[in-house]
């Protein structure tokens, strides 16, 4: 028998077993495709995991930023409420020039900080003749150390200019009895640095004479014609009375403080001191009402009456 060399033997076996050879080649190709697909799937899974992780981090950062921003805005609202609740203004404000208030040196506004959301508010002067101030509030989220906003995971700051209205321009004179004004809004603004609707919104408007008396103090808006035959306010606790209509003073009628009349002011048998403080009249003043100048009363009003409201268009964040 003739012996075959290696080359001839392989050729012989290939001719003898063609199916087995094809299967081995197909298996190798399938393995290569499977490996490539596994690599592709692994890359996709890794990319998907990375994208999900980044999205989770971005969502967490956005949540912390929103919490910090909300805390800062809450600080503005709390500070504004604290200013309006401080009836003497001695905690935050002090008299400056006549009709002007300034921030008290070293005064601090309510703040809170600790684990979770926190805020801290500062009170700043704003150069202006209208008694405006800037509240700057810094908020934080996920704060680790109580009292330290620097340990918060997220921080945000907002500021809001607020205006003290109600007695910002009270005069240091006794009487503003003048001819009728053609621009009543401008005349009102010269005393209150605000529109009538803004001042009215700061108090409860009353139209019943029984609602006012010696115990009345602070800002009172009387939304009707008023015939006064009794005392309103006291020299130690004066009233800022806005009469949205005509005012008639009769015997026994005395106003301790400042009265602003949008209509006419008249005297019907009124007393020698019908108004102790000052008066401003948009309309006519006949016959004249007796006014006793008392700048001490006006000074008390300047320190106690203002109510703070946000100045539209002055909010901003960083």
The pLDDT assigned to 221 comes to 92
Mean pLDDT confidence for 33-61? 76
CA separation (Å) from 26 to 12, 21, 36?
A: 21, 9, 15
Partners of 267 in beta bridges: 249
Q: Do the Cβ atoms of 301 and 238 come closer than 8 Å?
A: yes
Q: Cis link prior to 287 (omega < 30° from 0)?
A: yes
What's the pLDDT tens digit per position in 199-226?
Answer: 887 777 888 889 899 988 888 999 999 9
The mean-pLDDT minimum among 76-80, 167-171, 264-268 falls in 167-171
Cβ neighbors of 239 (< 8 A, separation 6 or more) are 212, 216, 217, 218, 220, 232, 233, 255, 256, 257, 258
Structure tokens at 251: 């015997």
State the average pLDDT for the chain.
78
Long-range contacts of the stretch 268-271 (C-beta < 8 A, 24+): 268/227
Residue 18 has pLDDT above 70, yes or no: no
Q: Collapse the DSSP code of 313 into the 3-class scheme (helix H, G, I; strand E, B; otherwise coil) and give the result.
A: coil
The pLDDT assigned to 1 comes to 47
What's the pLDDT tens digit per position in 259-270?
Answer: 999 999 999 888
């Amino acid at each position: 028998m003739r012996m075959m060399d290696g080359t001839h033997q392989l050729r012989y076996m290939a001719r003898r077993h063609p199916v087995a050879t094809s299967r081995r080649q197909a298996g190798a190709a399938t393995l290569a495709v499977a490996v490539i697909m596994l690599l592709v799937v692994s890359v996709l899974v890794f990319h998907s995991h990375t994208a999900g992780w980044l999205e989770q981090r971005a969502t967490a950062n956005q949540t912390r930023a929103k919490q910090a921003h909300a805390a800062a805005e809450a600080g503005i609202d709390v500070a504004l409420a604290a200013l309006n609740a401080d009836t003497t203004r001695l905690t935050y404000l002090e008299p400056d020039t006549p009709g002007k208030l300034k921030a008290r040196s070293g005064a601090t506004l309510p703040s809170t900080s600790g684990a979770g959301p926190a805020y801290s508010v500062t009170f700043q002067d704003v150069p202006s003749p209208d008694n405006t101030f800037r509240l700057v509030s810094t908020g934080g989220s996920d704060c680790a150390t109580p009292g330290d906003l620097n340990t918060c995971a997220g921080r945000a700051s907002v500021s809001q200019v607020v205006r003290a209205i109600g007695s910002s321009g009270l005069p240091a004179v006794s009487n503003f009895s003048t001819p009728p004004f053609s621009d009543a809004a401008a005349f009102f603004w010269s005393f209150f640095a605000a529109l009538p609707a803004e001042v009215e919104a700061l108090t409860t408007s009353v139209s019943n004479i029984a609602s006012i008396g010696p115990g009345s103090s602070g800002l009172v808006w009387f939304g009707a014609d008023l015939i006064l035959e009794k005392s309103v306010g006291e020299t130690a606790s004066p009233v800022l009375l806005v009469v949205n209509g005509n005012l008639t003073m009769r015997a026994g009628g005395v106003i301790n403080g400042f009265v602003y009349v949008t209509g006419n002011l008249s005297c019907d048998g009124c007393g020698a001191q019908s108004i102790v403080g000052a008066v401003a009249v948009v309309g006519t003043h006949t016959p004249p009402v007796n006014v006793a100048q008392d700048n001490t009363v006006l000074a008390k009003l300047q320190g106690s009456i203002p109510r703070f409201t946000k100045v539209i268009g002055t909010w901003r964040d960083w």
